[in-house]
Amino acid sequence: MKLSKFFLGASLALFLCPLMLSAQSAHRHKHEMGEKLGRVNFVTSCNKAAQQQFNRAVALLHSFWYDEAAKGFVEATKTDPKCGMGYWGVAMSLYHPVWAPPVAAELQKGITAAQKASTISARTPRERDYIKAIGTFYRDTDKLDHRTRALAYEKAMEQLHLQYPKDDEAAIFYALSLLGTALPTDKTYANQKKAADILNKVLAAEPQHPGVAHYLIHSFDYPALASLALNAARSYAKTAPSSPHALHMPSHIFTRLGLWQESIESNIASAEAARKSATWKDEIHAMDYLAYAYLQTAQDGKAKELNDAIYRMSNLDAHIFQGAYALAAIPARYALERRQWTEAATLKMPAPDYSWSKFSYAEAIIHFARSIGREAETSTARGKKSNDCLRSNKRWSKRKRITGPRRSRFSVWLRPRGWLRPKANRKKHQNLCVLRPIWKTQLRSIR
């Protein structure tokens, strides 16, 4: 994926620059000496050369570098045409358990790869079981919805894990499948805790495995659990520093815990790595978290540079959900966190040529911010008091405040992670009585 026109200010040159690399440069980067993606040893019956390519592709897969992983698996099948697990890997790279469901084109490619893997088969029963497991996700796509197929894959991986208890890869992929089927409404975090238990058992034997630390972060990426992932967050970037996502992912936990400087450093490093690998979705995702951390530490000038960069983007040729969310969230957050209500009320859609119709939930962020801005202006004009509203709702007023200089009520519901319940501080602020009903109405409209 590339960005054909991406104009960024000179002040951002240290970590934001044009994101176009030639295919030749990207190819050189992919194979450059000193690449560090963690340690993976997924033993297969493929020949020695294909096995090396396969292990590298699995390492990429565990860091959600899906496009590059798919290329690596294809290389393995070219090196060893009888390497059925290579096609298993291609099918796996098109299923993103904790991201959005595959679009139609991805789904068709995954079906083709799974069928090819099944046709070529593999030389061992264990490998055939892996191929059979991913096949359950791509089976009957015309009859079964995404969640039903994801649950079928989870059950298949559970059986594979039980059948091969000493297979660390089976355990790790099973843990990931549990995260992929966890319900957002389950506040006991049953799947997440189960996944973490599995991963912690593998950790002792596989301390340098990229998937273990990565999926532990995802397991505990919730306010109530975030502190449990701090060690994993601080180790993942060291395990796979060549991966932009590995450099960024720790900031999920740093953000949850209010460790703003660590989040800033994490995302600057991620953005730099993303530029080198021409993965603009990773760079803009890092920008999203970076802007959030700057605002929480009252570094509004640096946040403005990122906000201005968003509005200079045009002709985006890769339409993905990370990009859509960041494009909308950065401007909305920049206005609301600074309590600039008029600015929020008059927000313009960035990148007007973007396919916003495909990401209506992201477009809703801008409309939501406009509504808040307009209502806050009206509330201020009428002289409403927030103290009355706070006293009338103890549960709302006594929520724990966010750590950091700004301690904004907007910082949680407009977190890069997604739409969450606001946390209010106890400072007098004239728009709180109006913001709460507006927030509830808008949130219902986008679910």
Assess if residue 293 is contained within a domain: no
- Residue 88 has, within 13 A of its CA and on its CB side, a CA count of 24
- Cα separation, 338 vs 360, in Å, equals 25
Q: Which of 225, 203, 179, 158 is nearest to 38 (CA)?
A: 203
DSSP class per residue in 60-88:
HHHTT-HHHHHHHHHHHHHH-TT-HHHHH
Clarify whether residues 416 and 331 are in a common domain. Answer: yes
Judge whether 379 and 389 are in contact, CB under 8 Å.
no
Last residue of a domain, one of 250, 274, 302: 250
Clarify whether residues 382 and 237 are in a common domain. Answer: no
- Cα separation, 431 vs 433, in Å, equals 6
Clarify whether residues 237 and 322 are in a common domain. Answer: no
- From first to last of the 447 residues of the chain, give the pLDDT tens digit: 333 333 233 333 333 333 333 333 333 334 445 799 999 999 999 999 999 999 999 999 999 999 999 999 999 999 999 999 999 999 999 999 998 889 899 999 999 999 999 998 788 999 999 999 999 999 999 999 999 999 999 999 999 999 999 999 999 999 999 999 999 999 999 999 999 999 999 999 999 999 999 999 999 999 999 999 999 999 999 999 999 999 999 999 999 999 999 999 999 999 999 888 777 788 889 999 999 999 999 999 999 999 999 898 876 665 677 788 899 999 999 999 999 999 999 999 988 878 888 888 889 999 999 999 998 888 776 665 444 443 444 333 333 334 444 444 444 444 444 333 334 333 333 344 444 444 434 433 333
Clarify whether residues 69 and 149 are in a common domain. Answer: yes
How many residues does this entry show for the chain? 447
- Cα separation, 92 vs 41, in Å, equals 17
Assess if residue 115 is contained within a domain: yes
**pLDDT for the residue 353:** 79
**pLDDT for the residue 173:** 98
Clarify whether residues 244 and 327 are in a common domain. Answer: no
- Cα separation, 288 vs 368, in Å, equals 18
Clarify whether residues 81 and 229 are in a common domain. Answer: yes
Clarify whether residues 69 and 210 are in a common domain. Answer: yes
**pLDDT for the residue 73:** 97
* Domain with 95 in it: 35-250
Clarify whether residues 65 and 170 are in a common domain. Answer: yes
- Residue 201 has, within 13 A of its CA and on its CB side, a CA count of 15
Assess if residue 110 is contained within a domain: yes
Between 210-219 and 48-62, two packed helices, what is the crossing angle to 10 degrees? 20
**pLDDT for the residue 384:** 54
Rg (CA), the chain: 23
Clarify whether residues 84 and 224 are in a common domain. Answer: yes
Helical ranges in 139-167 per DSSP H: 146-163
CA distances in angstroms from 242 to 31, 54, 263, 276, listed in the order given: 11, 17, 18, 10
**pLDDT for the residue 381:** 66
Q: How far apart are the first and last CA of the chain?
A: 29
Judge whether 179 and 98 are in contact, CB under 8 Å.
yes
Clarify whether residues 232 and 327 are in a common domain. Answer: no
Assess if residue 23 is contained within a domain: no
Query: The tokens 């679009």 sit on which residue?
Result: 103
**pLDDT for the residue 246:** 96
**pLDDT for the residue 256:** 95
Clarify whether residues 242 and 94 are in a common domain. Answer: yes
Judge whether 77 and 86 are in contact, CB under 8 Å.
yes
Indicate the pTM of the whole model. 0.79
**pLDDT for the residue 317:** 60
CATH number for 169: 1.25.40.10
Assess if residue 22 is contained within a domain: no
- Cα separation, 201 vs 205, in Å, equals 8
Judge whether 404 and 297 are in contact, CB under 8 Å.
yes
Last residue of a domain, one of 210, 227, 250: 250
Assess if residue 281 is contained within a domain: no
SS3 5: strand
CA atoms 218, 221, 225, 226: torsion sign: positive
**pLDDT for the residue 28:** 35
Assess if residue 260 is contained within a domain: no
Query: The tokens 């406009």 sit on which residue?
Result: 370
**pLDDT for the residue 127:** 96
User: Based on the structure, what is the number of domains in the chain?
Assistant: 2
Assess if residue 301 is contained within a domain: no
Structure token pair of residue 209: 């495995």
Last residue of a domain, one of 250, 270, 294: 250
Clarify whether residues 41 and 185 are in a common domain. Answer: yes
SS3 143: coil
Structure token pair of residue 47: 């020949």
CA atoms 119, 122, 128, 130: torsion sign: negative
